[in-house]
Amino acid sequence: MSSFRRDFLKLAGAGFVATAAAATPGARAQTAYSLSSDPNSVFDVKAYGARGDGVTIDTPAINKAIAAANTRGGGTVRFPPGIYACYSIHLKSKVVLYLEPGATILAASVPAEGARGGAYDAAESNQPWENFQDYGHNHWHNSLIWGEDLHDFAILGTGLIWGRGLSRGASQLPLAETPGMGNKTIGLKNCHNVILRDFSVLEGGHFAILATGVDNLTIDNLLIDTNRDGIDIDCCRNVRISNCSVNSPFDDAICPKSSFALGYARTTENVTIINCYVTGAYEVGTMLDGTWKSWPSDKAEQAKVLPYFPEEFNGSIKLGTESNGGFKNIAISNCAFDGSKGFALESSDGAVVEDITFTGITMRDCTNTPLFLRLGSRMRGPKGAKVGTMKRVIMSDIVCSNSVSRLGGGGIIAGIPGYPIEDIKIHDAYFEHSGSGTKEMAALNPPEAAEDKDYPDPDMFGDIPASGFFLRHVNNIEFTNVEIAFRQPDARPVLWMDRVEGADFFHVKTPKALSAPVFALHDVQDFRVAASRNVTDVYLKKVEQQQL
């Protein structure tokens, strides 16, 4: 239990005052929550007319309580146990929303849950930038809870936010563009000094959390069991995501982005993601209720659960796809992937991607390739932008078991002609997949993907001619202490390389009974391998085509 919550429960009559240390450019911003003996600094939503009966629309009462706390210079808006049916709740600076155990903020349906009418706030215009990112990334006001141009605020407590009445997005009924419809749980734009801690989100709509241009952001100890994206961090700086569990079968679990939604290319940087669990393996809601119900494998049972059933579930950590501004100084560590797509790092719209670490990771039952690094040229943004770069990426201490086979049991690392991915190190890693790759797959030479038409995803290459890693347009890559295994024999080369310069492989282990080459080289320069199973030590200055 956090010290904040412990003190709150111990001193039931006391209030909180949120105070911010004065911040200067370049200085470390700080937010402190201190106890106050003034009971007037706690604003109980029921004292402002909220019913908490799950039927009455409580938005007007809640917004009055928030406004009152803000007018007094800050305070805590308390949600005692109850179900508060709401439309758009307006956050304010220096105000904490505190969800007590047993408190639920419920996204009301449109039309209204009860006799009183209402709707979510209108989706504000984001012209002329709206064509550069998906609908959901262009609007914040059509959220259950939103704030813009705010500072020093928080949402805390072990209560629940249930987005039952929210749209999942433009392609899902009810449509996000429907007048009065909301399509995200929490939408934040151009804010700083923000804390989100301890609460749970069920069925969060298109985004459980969308933070755009938010700096000094802490997201800690959340449980998110949702029907689209979990946590999207877009154009944000100094972000800490820790101790969160996200079940998001139909989209990404934790997804830093760097879109053009703010009207300029802003880098997402100085981000840590640590001690998190991501999955897409369970029916929505069953992580929160503790039943952990896996998706059925039987086709008839699948049809009962969902009107459509995806070929693969998501629940991944991905940097991209929106990638105009770039990703810099990102550390992802001590995270567990379970029945989800793997890790994706993408520059598709001109992003500069550099100084990334991905360490201390466990992956089980990956539904896609475990590691996907893509430098492409979709260039969805203003005309004249240049193709981005990707360099200085270290991935280490990774264990991956029982991933799918057809997209490579280790990963895809692919740039485009004239724009190679650079300076990649993969060490101390174990990758195991199902195997059974065929000779027909081994003979494939996937064409350069037309990324102006194709969504950047591992499937853009089709079946992969490698049982381990597919490497194309890469400079300066190193594998050390890496083992690649498969449960069934695989006829494909373990590492398939095309237009690669500067490749070093030390102590790479492959199955003893390997029936295919370890390496398939196509236009490769400065290639070294040493102390590796199934292949002799060799240095090749330049090779057009060779198998080892």
Give the C-alpha separation, 189 to 147, whole Å. 6
Q: Mind listing the pLDDT tens digit for each residue in 170-193?
A: 666 667 677 788 999 999 999 999
What DSSP assignment string belongs to 306-323?
A: -SS--SS----EEE-SSB
Asked if the peptide bond before residue 321 counts as cis, ω within 30 degrees of 0, the response is yes
Q: Mind listing the pLDDT tens digit for each residue in 84-106?
A: 999 999 999 999 999 999 999 99
Q: Which residue has the higher pLDDT, 451 or 403?
A: 403
Q: Mind listing the pLDDT tens digit for each residue in 487-545?
A: 999 999 999 999 999 999 999 999 988 889 999 999 999 999 999 999 999 999 999 99
- CA angle 124–130–136, rounded 5-degree value: 65
Contact between 369 and 458 under an 8 Å Cβ cutoff? The reply is yes
Query: pLDDT value at position 178?
Result: 76
What DSSP assignment string belongs to 408-427?
A: -SSEEEE-BTTB-EEEEEEE
C-alpha neighbours within 13 Å on the C-beta side of residue 526: 9
Query: pLDDT value at position 86?
Result: 96
Give the C-alpha separation, 473 to 397, whole Å. 25
Query: pLDDT value at position 17?
Result: 41
pLDDT range class, residue 112, cuts 50, 70, 90: low
Q: What is the CA radius of gyration of the chain?
A: 25
Q: What is the dihedral angle through the alpha carbons of 229, 316, 285, 119, rounded to the nearest 10 degrees? A: 0
% of the chain surpassing 90 pLDDT: 80
Q: Which residues pair with 229 in a beta bridge?
A: 207
Element holding 351 (H helix, E strand): none
pTM: 0.91
CB neighbourhood size of 149 (10 A): 10
Report strand pairing: 31-36 vs 15-20.
antiparallel
Q: What is the mean pLDDT of the chain?
A: 90
Beta strand residue intervals within 40-183, DSSP E? 42-44, 53-57, 75-79, 82-86, 89-90, 95-99, 103-107, 143-148, 151-156, 160-162
Residue with tokens 């991935």, as numbered in its chain: 395
Q: Mind listing the pLDDT tens digit for each residue in 43-56?
A: 999 999 999 999 99
pLDDT range class, residue 448, cuts 50, 70, 90: confident
Q: Mind listing the pLDDT tens digit for each residue in 271-296?
A: 999 999 999 999 999 999 999 999 98
DSSP, res 21 = -
Lookup: tokens for 400: 């991956």
Lookup: tokens for 4: 């904040």
Query: pLDDT value at position 173?
Result: 60
Beta strand residue intervals within 199-314, DSSP E? 200-202, 207-212, 215-220, 223-225, 229-234, 237-242, 245-247, 254-257, 268-274, 277-279
Lookup: tokens for 380: 């969805």
Q: Which residue has the higher pLDDT, 110 or 117?
A: 110
Residue with tokens 């449509």, as numbered in its chain: 175
Contact between 195 and 95 under an 8 Å Cβ cutoff? The reply is no
